[in-house]
Structure formats: C-alpha cells, structure tokens
C-alpha cells in the first residue's frame, strides 16, 4: 500500500497540534500501522514528548541542505510500529536558509520521496512549527492531507481561514496541486461551556464533511504526559484523553483507508 503523508499545522501555538501529532501517531501504531512521525518544529516538543533525546545532527537540517538522507535520520521509539525523525535547534536556521535556495518550497517533498518509494511506512505524520513559515509551507508542499487542530474558542476560527487560504495558494501555484484538507480536529473541548459547543457547531456548519466526530477534551493528563516523555496511552491509558485519541485514530484509519 502507498504511503500517506499528513501534515498537522496551525499558525497559532497552544492548540494541541503537537499533542495530536504524537498521540495520533501512537494510536495508528497501536493498530499495527507502520507510522513515521517527523518533528519539523525547532522546539522539538514532539521529540521530547515521545521520549526521544535531542541529538545533534539527527534532524532534517542536513538532508534539507543536501547533506545525508531522511532515511538516515529515522530513530526508533519505545512504541512498536512507530519511528521518529527528531528535531533539534538547528532547524531554526533552516527557516531562514530555505528561502535562499532554489525551489525552496519543494525541499522537504524531495527528501521524503525516497521514504514514500520504500513503502516502509503506511503513514507519515509531520508536526509543524506554530507559524506559517518556510518549514510549515514545505510540509504543506510535501503532504497529501492537511489536518488542522483547532482549539474550541472563537479566535481560532480566524486562523482556520488563514491556513485554508494558504492551501489554496499552494494549489493554484501548482506547488502541491493534490493537497487536500484531510480534516479539522477540535481540541481542548470543554463540554461544560456553551462556547466550546458553539465553536464546534460553527465549524460543522462551514466544513461539515471535514470535521472529525471525535472531540479532544481539555484534560490535565494530556498536558502532563509530554513532560514525562510519554504518550497519553502510556501515561493515562484508561483516561478520557486516551479514549479520545484512540477514537480519532480509528476515524483517520477509516477516512483514509489506512488498513
């Protein structure tokens, strides 16, 4: 089966993007789907959250500059069926340096192509920085599907429009004509507030075919897990966060025919 590349992006920080990247990747791996998580954020939060040490020279900085390959950067995790290409601080320099290269929006796509061809991974999940800079735009150019994490608050809706406009620009410019909005994942949902429910309803109204049914709850356990280098399944296996990400994993598997 072919490899499907997902990028999880939102220009706003603190919306559950990295939490979703890590736990969705783990949920797919739990279902025996060979998954590769790519940490493209110089802050390396996904790397830490999955329990992998930041190591000099192990990020995609070198391959983006033609030094080494993405395959060489793959690092195993403690989770069966899940590997990671970690991040480190040197990726921050790539934000500036990429813009000075030829064909600068296509660099990530080029270095991931051999990974696609090996068919070693059914799913590749890219965690982007919380900004629509060069790294995030490269991830959109490399992906088959964009997954947007959207916090259940009104200001988040403005960001949704902005990122969707960027997707259309990339498609119009033939940078990635095949890029599709794979879905919107509502995060930090609080069933006790009218606001959370209203925001979900508004997204359903505008993007009824794209919003996932699973709502990721606001829970302290999801916030705590990364500081222990654990997924929510290892940290709180029977909690509401684990249940939500397992359900989201099943939705993603069905929506994109990953099995």
> What does the DSSP assignment read for 69-105?
-TGGG-EE-SSTTEEEE---TTHHHHHHHGGGSTTGG
Q: Which residue has the tokens 């051999």?
A: 114
Instruction: Name the pTM for this structure.
Output: 0.95
pLDDT tens for each residue of 195-206? 889 999 999 998
| Best-predicted range by mean pLDDT (7-11, 91-95, 175-179, 237-241) | 237-241
Structural domain that includes position 244: 4-255
Q: Mean per-residue pLDDT for 102-120?
A: 91
For position 91, which CATH number holds?
A: 3.40.50.300
**Structure confidence at residue 161 as a pLDDT band (50, 70, 90):** confident
**Residue 121 CB neighbours (<10 A):** 21
1: CB partners within 8 A, 6+ apart: 119, 122
**Structure confidence at residue 170 as a pLDDT band (50, 70, 90):** confident
Q: What does the alpha-carbon distance between residue 170 and residue 186 come to, in Å, rounded to a whole number?
A: 24
**Number of domains comprising the chain:** 1
Q: Mean per-residue pLDDT for 239-253?
A: 98
pLDDT tens for each residue of 54-97? 888 899 999 999 999 999 999 999 999 999 999 999 999 998 89
Question: In the structure encoding, which two tokens stand for residue 55, read together?
Answer: 């190591």
Q: What does the alpha-carbon distance between residue 127 and residue 122 come to, in Å, rounded to a whole number?
A: 17
Q: Mean per-residue pLDDT for 224-253?
A: 97
């Amino acid at each position: 089966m072919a490899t499907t590349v997902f990028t999880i992006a939102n220009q706003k920080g603190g919306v559950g993007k990295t939490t979703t990247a890590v736990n969705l990747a783990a949920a797919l791996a739990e279902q025996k789907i060979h998954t590769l998580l790519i940490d493209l954020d110089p802050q390396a939060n996904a790397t830490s959250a999955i329990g992998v040490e930041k190591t000099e020279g192990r990020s995609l900085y070198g391959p983006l500059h033609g030094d080494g390959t993405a395959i060489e950067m793959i690092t195993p995790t403690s989770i069966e069926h899940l590997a990671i290409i970690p991040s480190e601080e040197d990726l921050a320099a790539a934000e500036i340096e990429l813009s000075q290269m030829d064909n600068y929006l296509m660099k990530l796509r080029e270095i991931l192509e051999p990974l696609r061809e090996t068919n070693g991974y059914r799913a590749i999940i890219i965690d982007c920085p919380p900004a629509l800079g060069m790294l995030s735009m490269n991830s959109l150019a490399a992906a088959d599907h964009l997954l947007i994490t959207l916090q259940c608050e009104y200001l988040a809706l403005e960001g949704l429009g902005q990122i969707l406009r960027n997707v259309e620009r990339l498609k119009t410019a033939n940078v990635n004509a095949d890029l599709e909005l794979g879905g919107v994942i509502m995060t930090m949902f609080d069933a006790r507030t009218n606001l959370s429910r209203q925001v979900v309803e508004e997204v359903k109204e505008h993007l009824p075919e794209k919003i996932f049914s699973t709502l990721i709850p606001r829970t302290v356990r999801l916030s705590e897990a990364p500081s222990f280098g654990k997924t929510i399944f290892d940290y709180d296996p029977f909690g509401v966060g684990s249940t939500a990400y397992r359900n989201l994993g099943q939705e993603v598997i069905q929506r994109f025919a990953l099995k």
